[in-house]
DNA sequence: GCTTCCATGTAATAGGTTACATGATTTG
DNA sequence: CAAATCATGTAACCTATTACATGGAAGC
């Protein structure tokens, strides 16, 4: 599933420009589970138009590059439909944060605490974005997908808050000797 | 943070071969938040050895290629330490599943149900792997990281089970008319 | 008898991201 | 007055995945 397909999906939610599609990945509908850059979106839109899966209306602007509004053609809608029926790849989750946490004992305790604090704020930011459903949700799936994000990020924040002591309290490693049961 | 750094991390948990490191990504310590293929691991180990961050002991085998066991050198340990102190990239979560769910109304209801069932099994498989801590956990961070995975996957399964009706029950879209309050 | 496991490695390819190029207008 | 927003597009680069090459042993 490449950026072309993702763009078809974006346009199935309504006509849009490349710029607006990018925003959907950054802060819109797709932000918590997809990514794409201008460098991949613009060429994708050009190709899709060549293949007649999209039409493009140019709106002349002063001072700015002309705005190109893309629309899904019936052919494009079919292409999307077909792609949706294709086998889907497994979720991919990549977290450098967890990698670093695995080696938390290599870092000063305060550094670890700072990283956890930062990660919690990041998750909270995501949550704020997910709770702010100003714009009407365009498909029934939107609600489902949004709430999934909420559930997962909430679980993440909860987990970090309730279990950070596991790595913030030291003495866990192999380096203590007879210092048996003397909690500080 | 590239595969080289990830390999340093892998070897900080104990000496290993390229094959074993791959297993850590597939089903071991790293499986739920990192990925790497042989095609990136083997060259990384070669480079790291050239840079003297690793040493390599060759164990001759019959019938199989010689086993190459890599160990972190003190220099390698320092390099890892330094990398851990570098700014860390944001988590990346990519889900084609959620993308498809956004357009669930393009698919037959049974297809959607099947996808959700499959996704739940996938998450359950991950959970089984995470709960099976046969091998002793090598660092204090391991427990923290593992449990994080458990928390998130459990939240995901719970969410799917309790909210699948949001897309499995139709009539939500814009296509109903006066059919007000007549639940089928 | 077939599949999976062990075990390493290279080359081609693909798919992106990053950086660059341009520039007026609005917001702080 | 500076920074962010709007708006498109290309080219260089990079990184990693996929496929290929090899092959015995063990499990089903």
Burial of A110 (0-12, 13-18, 19+ CB in 10 A): exposed
* Contact flag, residue A3 CB and nucleic strand C, below 7 A: yes
Question: Average pLDDT, stretch B14-29?
Answer: 94
Among left, alpha and beta (phi > 0; psi -120 to 50; other), residue A64 is beta
CA distance A70 to A52: 11
pLDDT at A176: 39
Lowest mean pLDDT among A7-16, A93-102, A131-140: A131-140
CA distance B84 to B9: 9
pLDDT at B184: 35
In chain B, beta strands by DSSP E: 54-59, 67-72, 92-94
- At A182, the pLDDT band (50, 70, 90 cuts) reads very low
% of chain A surpassing 90 pLDDT: 81
pLDDT tens-place string over residues B114-168:
999 999 999 999 999 998 876 667 888 999 999 999 999 999 999 999 999 999 9
**Most confidently modeled range among A164-173, B142-151, B174-183:** B142-151
Q: How many helices (H) and strands (E) does chain B have?
A: 8, 3
The answer on pLDDT for A138 being more than 90 is no
Find the nucleotide nearest B22 (Cα to C1′).
C7
The closest CB to that of B99, out of A34, A85, A102, belongs to A34
Burial of A67 (0-12, 13-18, 19+ CB in 10 A): middle
* Contact flag, residue B45 CB and nucleic strand C, below 7 A: yes
% of chain B surpassing 90 pLDDT: 79
Residue of A nearest to B86 (CA): A100
CB contact under 8 A, A12 and B103: yes
Question: Average pLDDT, stretch B46-51?
Answer: 94
Find the nucleotide nearest B59 (Cα to C1′).
C7
Q: Cβ of B99 under 8 Å from any chain A Cβ?
A: yes
Note the strand C nucleotides within 7 A of protein beta carbons.
Answer: 6-12, 15-20, 22-25
Higher pLDDT, B66 or A4: A4
Q: Cβ of A93 under 8 Å from any chain B Cβ?
A: yes
Q: Cβ of B181 under 8 Å from any chain A Cβ?
A: no
Which residues in B lie closer than 8 A to residue A115 (C-beta atoms)?
A: 88
User: Which of these, B88, B70, B80, lies nearest to B33 by C-alpha position?
Assistant: B88
Angle, CA A124 vertex, CA A118 and CA A125 arms, to 5°: 90
Residue nearest to nucleotide D24 (CA to C1'): B63
User: Chain A, 12-71: which have a CB under 8 Å from a chain B CB?
Assistant: 12, 29-30, 32-35
Q: Supply A37's token pair.
A: 């850059």
CB contact under 8 A, B97 and A80: no
The closest CB to that of A155, out of B30, B143, B151, belongs to B151
Spanning CA of A175 to C1' of D14, the rounded length in angstroms is: 41
pLDDT at A139: 86
**Most confidently modeled range among A57-61, B44-48, B58-62, B179-183:** B44-48
């Amino acid at each position: 599933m490449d950026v072309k397909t993702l763009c078809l999906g974006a346009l199935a939610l309504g006509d849009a420009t490349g710029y607006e599609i990018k925003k959907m990945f950054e802060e819109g509908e797709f932000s918590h589970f997809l990514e794409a850059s201008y460098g991949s979106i613009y060429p994708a839109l050009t190709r899709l138009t060549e293949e007649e899966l999209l039409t493009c209306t140019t709106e002349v602007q002063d001072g700015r590059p002309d705005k190109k509004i893309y629309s899904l053609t019936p052919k494009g809608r079919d292409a999307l439909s077909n792609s949706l029926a294709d086998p889907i790849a497994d979720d991919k989750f990549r977290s450098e944060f967890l990698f670093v946490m695995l080696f938390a004992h290599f870092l000063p305790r305060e550094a670890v605490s700072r990283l956890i604090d930062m990660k919690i704020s990041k998750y909270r930011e995501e949550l704020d974005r997910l709770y702010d459903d100003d714009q009407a949700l365009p498909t029934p799936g939107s609600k489902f997908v949004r709430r999934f994000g909420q559930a997962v990020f909430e679980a993440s924040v909860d987990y970090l808050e309730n279990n950070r002591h596991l790595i913030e309290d030291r003495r866990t490693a192999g380096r203590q000797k007879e210092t048996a049961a003397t909690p500080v």
